[in-house]
């Protein structure tokens, strides 16, 4: 990363009105006299670019031919098929109730798109260029003149305005709250230009990225049908993306097909991508049933997430016949900050000593060695393995920031190394950790009675885990057993995915297995995930808040350099790890994949994506050979 924020090599600074006029002429758009006269009063200089990078220069210049990691000559054709678990009762990806069909948002595009070999960079997709002043108080997107929806209707600035307003009226409350805190208004300057204006007090970082993340729907379709964004339905609006819904059989399969008239197929950002004619999703009740179907050739690509299966189950005829490729590929993404999440909205879990005690009863060593075949590593940080992870004692800029909140944090933050996960033995129940946990619960007032059950003020300490996937049974049951040995009335309740979604959105749980989405570059999104403003937000499942973290967050959102941002994140990471609202579990750092030997991928994958549905491609000759050999049912 750069030491300081340089001028972006892909931007040009010119008088604003001249730029708008040149852009309009370039795409054949007329600027009205009223619009032009208004702009004469605008800023003298405006930054124009084909993309945006928060801290450094864009990797790809305005004249790039294709992304470095794709095969620009990849053939188009064929089908790739994957699997999904459970059921679905809607194809609307933006509804909060029910179960949405897998990949239901595939048909919709955003103003910006990202690449898989950069951090913090976004490029125009539905736009040709963006324009914004140095203070980033607003941004204008110049819509690509060829942009169109799958029904052939043009995509315009008015559709962008309509979509933003639709989300503000009918989107999830957490989304509305987050976006409205950043964007004050959206207006169409003409058919091809749309301007986002930002709140004066919005965080400096993330403004333009948030605007660029706007998905775009056709205004005409919504007005003609009367459909709502927040209703469960199978009839969905046409999108502008390369794929569109072809067919579905409820709870059995969904098929998406590549739009042969896709408006953006020749864009440099899309070269060598979106190569399959169809993407098929097959539904199964659980992973075991899906795996049996994969072995029989009922679907053709499987990304494995079970260490048990990866270590023991990949012995079957299709693999022996070399019809199936089993491959481990590198994954450069940050591991999700996953673990057992405490719901701090529950009074019984608000005492950090209780959370620390419950965390001590999870045995990573035994779980990994016995149940996961030693394939994983134990997660330490919310930003594992990156420059954003706190290490050792605080120093430098991180220490300076922590000094500013000294009165709000545990003094040991300054005297002890960053909290590491506890060490456990090779037996399921580590008695040493159980003694420590017992002492912590005693200190918190949860005393074991003659029956061994812990009570406080006459109430037992009840903890319910909820989960919808049977894959976690073998992980959660031993943990629940350990908690029971400690005198806690712990239960594990596996429910269906629809019930789980409803309880999750209502924060109706004690503990879940889940996580927080984190990135190599952090910005305003941290306010919703870890700030007090996100207490009612689904992006903050624990309901975590801290005065100290609130005080440090502006240092993340206003950082002018990557190093400044990283120091602030490390300080926050250090505080949150001590407060133990997520029991850290495991991470892999690799992709486990198996697929029928008719798919190909670039020799060197980008660091931040597997890309099997993006830039892999189909080999027809290999597919014909597999078909002739009897590889598929």
Same domain? For 373 and 445 the reply is yes
Of 197, 225, 253, the position where a domain reaches its end is: 225
> What is the per-residue pLDDT for 22?
39
Assigned domain for 404 exists? yes
My answer on whether 312 and 256 are in the same domain is: yes
Residues 183 and 167 in one domain: yes
3-state helix, strand, coil in the chain (%, to 5): 30, 20, 45
- The β-bridge partners of 489 are 462
Number of structural domains (the chain) is 3
Return the number of other C-beta atoms located less than 10 Å from residue 66's C-beta: 17
User: Is position 445 within any domain?
Assistant: yes
- Residue 237 domain-assigned (yes or no): no
Is residue 309 domain-resident?
A: yes
- Rounded CA separation 413/632 (Å): 58
- Decide if 2 is inside a domain: no
Low-confidence ranges of the chain (pLDDT < 70): 1-44
CA atoms within 13 A on the CB side of 349: 24
Pairing of strands 183-190, 138-143: unpaired
- Residues 321 and 347 both lie in one domain: no
From 194, 225, 256, give the residue that closes a domain: 225
**How large is the C-alpha radius of gyration of the chain?**
26
Contact in structure between 56 and 562 (CB atoms under 8 Å): yes
Q: In this predicted structure, what is the pLDDT of residue 8?
A: 41
- 192 and 319 share a domain? no
Same domain, 178 and 69: yes
Instruction: For residue 441, give the CATH number of its domain.
Output: 3.10.105.10
302, 253, 248: which is closest to 281 by C-alpha? 253
Structure tokens at 42: 């605008």
Same domain, 282 and 382: no
Is position 236 within any domain? no
Strand 590-596 to 599-600 pairing: unpaired
Which residues fall within 8 angstroms of residue 574, CB to CB, at 6 or more apart?
390, 394, 398, 402, 413, 418, 419
Cα 366 versus chain centre, distance: 30
Whether residue 443 sits in one domain with residue 302: no
DSSP secondary structure letter of residue 367: I
Tell whether 193 and 297 lie within a shared domain.
no
Asked if 115 and 123 touch (Cβ cutoff 8 Å), the reply is yes
Rounded Cα distance between 81 and 398, Å, is 47
- The neighbouring-strand residues paired with 123 are 51, 113
Picking from 191, 225, 259, the residue at the C-terminal end of a domain is 225
Question: Range of 101's domain?
Answer: 12-225
How high is the pLDDT of residue 633?
Answer: 74
23 with 157: CB under 8 angstroms? no
For 346-396, list the strands marked E by DSSP: 377-378
Residue 344 tokens read as: 């701090």
Give residue 44's pLDDT: 53
Distance CA 95, CA 361 (A): 37
Look at residue 277 and tell me if it is in a domain.
yes
Burial of 515 (0-12, 13-18, 19+ CB in 10 A): middle
As a whole number of angstroms, the distance between CA 573 and CA 381 comes to: 7
Q: What is the DSSP string of 30-95?
A: PPPHHHHHHHTTS-S-EEEESEEESSS--SS-TT--S-TTS-TTPPP--EEEEEEES--SB--TT-
How many other CB atoms sit within 10 Å of the CB of residue 151?
12
Q: Tell me the CA distances in angstroms from 364 to 338, 371, 376, 417, 493, one per residue in order.
A: 13, 10, 10, 21, 21
198 three-state secondary structure: strand
CATH for 275: 3.40.190.10
Cβ atoms of 610 and 329 within 8 Å: the answer is yes
373 lies in the same domain as 319 = no
Does residue 369 lie within any of the structural domains? yes
Q: Do 298 and 282 share a domain, yes or no?
A: yes
What Cα–Cα distance (Å) separates residue 211 from each residue in 122, 138, 139, 183, 208?
11, 10, 8, 8, 5
Sign of CA dihedral 385, 388, 391, 396: positive
User: What confidence score (pLDDT) does residue 459 get?
Assistant: 96
Say whether both 32 and 123 belong to one domain: yes
- Of the CA atoms within 13 Å of residue 217, those in its CB half-sphere come to 20
- Between CA 446 and CA 349 the distance in angstroms is 12
């Amino acid at each position: 990363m750069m030491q300081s924020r340089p001028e972006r090599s892909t931007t040009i600074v010119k008088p604003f009105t001249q730029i708008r006029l040149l852009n309009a002429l370039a795409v054949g758009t007329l600027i009205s006299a009223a619009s032009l006269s208004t702009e004469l009063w605008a800023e003298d200089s405006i930054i124009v670019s084909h993309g945006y990078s928060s801290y450094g220069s864009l990797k790809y210049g305005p004249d790039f031919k294709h992304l470095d990691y794709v095969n620009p000559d990849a053939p188009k054709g064929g089908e790739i098929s994957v699997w999904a678990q459970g059921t679905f009762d809607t194809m609307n990806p933006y509804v909060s109730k029910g179960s949405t069909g897998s990949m239901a948002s595939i048909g919709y595009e955003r103003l910006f798109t990202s690449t898989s070999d950069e951090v913090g960079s976004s490029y125009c997709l539905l736009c040709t260029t963006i324009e914004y002043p140095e203070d980033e108080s607003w941004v204008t997107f110049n819509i690509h003149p060829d942009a169109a929806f799958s029904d052939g209707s043009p995509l315009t600035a008015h559709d962008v305005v309509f979509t933003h307003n639709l989300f503000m009226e009918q989107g999830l409350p957490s989304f509305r709250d987050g976006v409205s805190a950043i964007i004050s208004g959206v207006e169409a300057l003409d058919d091809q230009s749309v301007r986002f204006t930002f709140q004066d007090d919005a965080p400096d970082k993330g403004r333009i990225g948030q605007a660029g993340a706007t998905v775009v729907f056709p205004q005409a379709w919504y007005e003609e049908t009367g459909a709502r964004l927040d209703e469960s339905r199978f009839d969905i609006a046409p999108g502008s993306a390369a794929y569109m819904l072809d067919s579905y059989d409820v709870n059995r399969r969904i098929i998406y097909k590549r739009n042969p008239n896709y408006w953006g197929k020749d864009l440099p950002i899309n070269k060598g991508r979106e190569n399959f004619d169809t993407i098929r999703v097959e539904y199964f009740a659980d992973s075991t049933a899906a795996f049996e179907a994969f072995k029989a050739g009922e679907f053709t690509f499987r990304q494995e997430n079970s260490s048990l299966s990866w270590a023991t189950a990949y012995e079957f005829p299709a693999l022996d016949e070399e019809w199936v490729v089993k491959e481990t590929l590198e994954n450069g993404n940050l591991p999700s900050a996953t673990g057992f999440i405490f719901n701090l909205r529950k009074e019984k879990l608000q005492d950090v000593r209780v959370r620390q005690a419950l965390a001590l009863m999870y045995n990573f060593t035994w779980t990994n060695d016995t149940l996961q075949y030693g394939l994983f590593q134990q997660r330490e940080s919310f930003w594992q393995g990156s420059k954003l992870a706190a290490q050792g004692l605080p120093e430098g800029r991180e220490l300076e920031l922590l000094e500013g909140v000294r009165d709000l944090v545990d003094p040991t933050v300054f005297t002890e190394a960053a909290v590491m996960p506890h060490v456990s033995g090779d037996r399921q129940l580590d008695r040493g950790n159980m003694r420590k946990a017992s002492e912590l619960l005693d200190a918190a007032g949860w005393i074991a009675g003659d029956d061994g059950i812990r009570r406080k003020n006459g109430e037992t300490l009840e903890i319910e885990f909820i989960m919808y996937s049977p894959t976690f049974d073998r992980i959660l049951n031993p943990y629940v057993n350990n908690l029971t040995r400690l005198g806690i009335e712990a239960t594990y309740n596996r429910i269906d995915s629809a019930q789980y979604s409803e309880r999750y959105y209502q924060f109706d749980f004690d503990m879940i297995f889940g996580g927080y989405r984190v990135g190599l570059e952090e910005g305003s999104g941290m306010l919703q995930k870890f700030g007090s403003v996100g207490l009612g937000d689904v992006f903050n499942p624990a309901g975590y808040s801290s005065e100290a973290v609130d005080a440090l967050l502006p240092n993340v959102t206003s950082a002018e350099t990557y190093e400044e941002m990283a120091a602030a994140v490390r300080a926050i990471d250090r505080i949150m790890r001590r407060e133990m609202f997520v029991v850290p579990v495991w991470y892999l750092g690799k992709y486990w994949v198996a697929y029928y030997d008719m798919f190909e991928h670039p020799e060197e994958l980008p660091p931040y994506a597997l890309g099997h549905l993006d830039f892999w491609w189909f080999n027809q000759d290999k597919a014909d050979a597999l078909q002739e050999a009897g590889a598929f049912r």
